[in-house]
Structure 1
Amino acid sequence: MGDTGPVLKPCGRLLALCDCNNFFVSCERLFRPDLEGRPVVVLSSNDGVVIARSNEVKALGVKMGEPYFKVRAFLERQGTMVFSSNFQLYEEVSARVMAALRRVTPSMEVYSVDEAFLELPPSAELSPLEWGKDVRSMLFRETGIPVSVGIAPAKTAAKLAADRAKKHPETGGAFALLPGETWDDFLLDIPVEDVWGIGRRWSDFLRRRGISTAIRLRDARDDWVEKHLGVRGLRTKWELAGIRCFPVEEQEKPQKSIQSSRSFSSPVRSREGLAEAVTEFVLVAGRRLRTQQSLAGSLSVNISTSRFRMPFYGRRAEVVLDPPTDSDIHLIRAAVESLSSIYLDGHDYEKAEVGLGCLSSARRPQLLLFPQREDRGSALSRAADRLNREAGRSLLLPAVLLGEKAWRPRKDRHSGFRLEDLEKLPVISGEGI
């Protein structure tokens, strides 16, 4: 590895992780303030498993990913409010949160729908913890979403600091690990599996070798960590010492492949029904493809019956798209043709998936020796994206997707809320003010 000592100095600049608390639950509570303090859960597609829990539900011992049918009776006895997932609302609220955060930082990375890394502005360096609390107050005032703020010189440490802020109310929702201070007592309390980037992937291996806490990982030998955990593991170790190895990435990296899949709410028995579902999945994948300005060079379709019912049937077909495309028209045609090659009568299909691969940049398309005529399908797809986005719903759709479809996910407990639904906002009486 060579002598890296002079380079590996703790970073003096600070960054923050802003993490929305129980994000999906907090979004539902925007329109239902009466649910504050009550147990609330949000379910996955088809109302299958628990994907978000309020603090009250966490205190009851309900785990993330718990199948709903197993805990339904228990939650009902506890007076729990249960919501089907409303991803359109969550994306709208996330966009508002991120827009507010961009105003307070010179550089920001949107890490997920409910998390963002921010570089602290120079004005915050003298009192970073107060800056974090001010940001938290501003976000709650402007969006209604509670957040936890973790501040540190490096991303891995900031993640741990944000987790401490979330789980310990005495912090006031913000916690800082500052350069020049000792972090030993803090890292001593962190199980190694809770370190960002470690998780289950490496924690069992590390624990078997006596590395059970974050501080033991930080103090392990560099050469040993690199040998067993690779370069990324070594960088994680350095970040626990305040050495920034993972930069704030303002530009989101394009995905190398895109998948859209779903289990059906009821089995699909016809080729036409499967073609409808595959068409909808293509639209979702195509929109993601155009959002990151990519072209797909291949498309795959998977269909399968339930693995718990015999005989099991599952098949996959893949086609090359030449030239690569982002046109929904071409993608749908390829997907339906692929489906026809693997569909078999007499089965109850319970899941389908569409995958887009061999992605390339739409800004630098491959030059062809014999150029084809301009692809109007791509322009039409981008226009449909824009109109649907402005309308806030799927205004333009293929005709086969109009009307109710039995295979679409169950949303028996869907709130139906949208940020534009002003008439559904709670009304506060002015009496007594």
Structure 2
Amino acid sequence: MGHPGAVLKSCADLLALCDCNNFFVSCERLFRPDLEGRPVVVLSSNDGVVISRSNEVKALGVKMGEPYFRVRSFLERHGAAVFSSNFRLYEEVSARVMACLRRFVPSMEVYSVDEAFLEVPPEGKKKPEEWARDIRAVVLTETGIPVSVGAAPTKTAAKLAAERAKKRPETGGGFALLPGEPWDDLLREVPVEDVWGIGRRWSDFLRRRGISTALRLRDAPDDRLEKHLGIRGLRTAWELRGIRCFPIEEQEKPQKSIQSSRSFAVPVRDRESLAEAVTEFTLTAGRRLRSQNSLAGSLSVSISTSRFRGSFFGARAEVALENPTDSDITLIRAAAGALSSIYREGHDYEKAEVCLGSLSSAGTVQLSLFGKREDRGAALSRAADRLNGEAGRRLLLPAALLGEKEWHPRKDRHSGMGLEDLETLPVISGEK
């Protein structure tokens, strides 16, 4: 499977991608086995758009990202079950899936909440498709989540193999693109926009130049790819040739910035309600900040009205923090100050965002000459994270956030389930 433009050697080793099938839908079905075989969708925050579809819904032609109001009647006519998103449940189930996978591989990279790249162990390299199906069976038995596993020499090819495993029932959920074997037939079937790392960012540009499939991308000249797509695009083509350019990264890379934002269920006009929302978003961002062991050096707040109702108003303010911090107390105080500087009366605000920037590692913080890090506030925040995590709900939070808030995103179809509720499910005995 050589290529005249390739100066690197093809990889003879294998890695794999494990991809959870219709993940959010599969999580909801854990508590509703009666929904197996029935159309099911999960909606985004505020019940806005479709973000997860069962195979039955895909067969009906409902697209990902379809606004719910447009397909609501259609889904009702087909007897579909509709759920508001339950991200706490999805994160809990994801942790179980990843823990299960870790037992069977030398190393792995958690790529997203429903995907992980795996190093195929020596015993799996002998019969990779059989190994992939065995992994699928174990994950399904232990977590209840169906997965697809694709093996290949490179990450980009493994993504394509996993997609083939997902869409072709005859594969049994496992498929391999092996080193040295021809991949042309599969690559010819894959639209260029479906190649990992290409998407819409580059697909229109490539199609205008006659590169419409993964096969044509693989065979494009190196100098042309590097000129127009940069080194990342060139490496993607190399990976389609079996040359590994993106290794498994066991250590999760910290985010360079952290955002938390939501659209409100109802427009917010008064300063107090807007401050409550900004406080909640700051807490969410702070929790993510501490989870990756980082400190924030700056914070920004953005607020905006609807672009489709009346005249638009939007504003943003950024503040530099005196010392890098992960203390909720400091972050909330900074967010309140930023909001006060941009709030204007008389507007119906529909969205707010908090962004933490200038991130640095908590282990390498550089103290200023006269400043001192607020250890008590940071310690209190970490203690709240631990207690809330153990309880599976928010036990500790600012008093301003107690009670129901009109601006909270709509979750009219929220299942309200968590993994702790598995203990309450009825047990069906086989004994007479």
User: What band does the TM-score fall into relative to the shorter chain?
Assistant: over 0.9
Q: Distance in 1 between matches of 2:305 and 2:51?
A: 24
CA separation in 2, counterparts of 1:378 and 1:144? 38
Matched, 1:269 2:280: no
User: Using the alignment, how far apart are the partners of 1:7 and 1:122 within structure 2?
Assistant: 28
1:170 corresponding residue in structure 2 = 170
Whether contact under 8 Å (2:325, 2:374) holds in the other structure is no
Q: Where does residue 198 of structure 2 map in the other structure? A: 198
Secondary structure (helix, strand or coil) at the match of 1:421 reads helix
How many positions carry a matched residue from both structures?
429
Matches within 5 A, 1:291-330: 291-330=291-330
Aligned residue identity for 1:82: V
Which residue matches 2:409? 409
Cα distance change, pair 219–266 in 1 and its aligned pair in 2 (3 A): same
Deviations 1:84-120 (A, max 9, x none): 1111110000000000000011110000000000000
CA contact (8 A) 2:47 2:411 kept: yes
CA positional deviation for 1:218: 0.7
> Match of 2:343?
343
Structure 2 vs 1, CA of residues 20 and 339 (structure 1 numbering), >3 Å: closer, same or farther?
same
The equivalent residue for 2:30 is 30
Separation in 2 of the partners of 1:274 and 1:214? Answer: 48
- Structure 1 residue 428 displacement after superposition: 2.3
Partner SS for 2:312: coil
Does the residue aligned with 1:125 lie in a helix, a strand or coil?
A: helix
CA shift, 1:187, in A, is 0.9
Deviation at 1:251, TM superposition (A): 0.6
For the residues of structure 2 that align with 1:9 and 1:136, how far apart are their CA atoms? 31
In structure 2, distance between residues paired with 1:178 and 1:308: 52
Instruction: Write the letter of the residue equivalent to 1:81.
Output: A
CA distance in 2, matches of 1:253, 1:83: 32
State the partner residue of 2:10.
10
Contact conserved, 2:5 with 2:221, CA < 8 A, in 1? no
Q: Distance in 1 between matches of 2:242 and 2:373?
A: 55
Secondary structure, aligned partner of 1:148: strand
User: Does 2:68 align with 1:79?
Assistant: no
1:126 aligned partner? 126
Q: 1:15 to 1:72 in 2, by over 3 A?
A: same
The alignment status of 1:114 with 2:117, answered yes or no, reads no
Could you state the TM-score of these two structures normalised by the residue count of structure 2? 0.97
Q: CA RMSD in A?
A: 1.3
What do residues 208-241 of structure 1 show as CA deviations (whole Å, max 9, x unaligned)?
1111111111111111111111000000000001
Shift of 1:293: 0.9
**Is the Cα contact below 8 Å between 1:222 and 1:234 reproduced in 2?**
yes
Q: Distance in 2 between matches of 1:262 and 1:308?
A: 17
Unaligned runs of 5+ in 1: none
Deviation, 1:322, is 1.3
The equivalent residue for 1:49 is 49
Identity of aligned residues (%): 79
Q: Which residue of 1 aligns with 2:253?
A: 253
Partner in structure 2 of residue 366 of structure 1:
366
Residue identity matched to 2:220 = A
The answer to whether the 8 A contact 1:31-1:426 is kept is: no
Q: CA–CA distance in 2 between the matches of 1:53 and 1:78?
A: 14
CA distance in 1, matches of 2:374, 2:355: 25
Shift of 1:11: 0.7
What is aligned with 2:400? 400
Q: Matched residue of 2:364: which SS?
A: coil
Q: Does the Cα contact within 8 Å between 1:296 and 1:356 map onto a contact in 2?
A: yes
Q: Letter of the aligned partner of 2:321 in structure 1?
A: L
Change (3 A) 1:225 1:6: closer
Summarize deviations over 1:305-345 as a string: whole Å, max 9, x none: 11111222111111000111110000000101111111111
Q: Which amino acid aligns with 1:204?
A: D
Q: Deviations over 1:26-62 (max 9, x none)?
A: 0000011010000000011111111100000000000
When residues 132 and 194 of structure 1 are mapped into structure 2, their CA distance, relative to the original with a 3 A threshold, is same
Partner SS state of residue 420, structure 2: coil
1:69 aligns with 2:69: yes
In structure 2, relative to structure 1, the CA distance for the partners of 1:306 and 1:104 (3 Å cut) is same
Aligned residue in 2 for 1:379: 379
Please tell me whether the aligned partners of residues 323 and 373 of structure 2 are also in contact (alpha carbons under 8 angstroms).
no
Cα displacement (A) at 1:369? 1.7
Runs of 4+ in 1 over 4 A off after TM superposition: 4-7
TM-score by length of 1: 0.97
2:217 corresponds in structure 1 to 217
- When structure 1 is superposed on structure 2, of 370-379 and 79-88 the one drifting more is 370-379
For 2:360, the aligned partner's letter is S
Matched letter for residue 340 of structure 2: S
Structure 2 unaligned regions, length at least 5: none
Residue identity matched to 1:352:
A
Q: Deviations over 1:348-406 (max 9, x none)?
A: 11110001111111110013222426531011111111111111111100000000100
Pairwise CA distance, 1:7: 5.8
The AA in structure 2 aligned to 1:334 is: A
Q: CA deviation at 1:429?
A: 4.2
Q: CA deviation at 1:154?
A: 0.1
CA distance in 1, matches of 2:89, 2:370: 46
The aligned residue for residue 208 of structure 2 is: 208
Give the 5 Å matches for 1:272-283: 272-283=272-283
Where does residue 242 of structure 2 map in the other structure? 242
The one-letter code sitting in structure 2 at the alignment partner of 1:138 is: V
Matches for 1:180-199 after TM superposition, within 5 Å: 180-199=180-199
How big is the shift at 1:72? 0.4
Partner of 1:104: 104
Residue of structure 2 in register with 1:88 after alignment = 88
Give the Cα separation in 2 of the matches to 1:142 and 1:408.
35
* Contact 1:32–1:426 (8 Å) recurs in 2: no
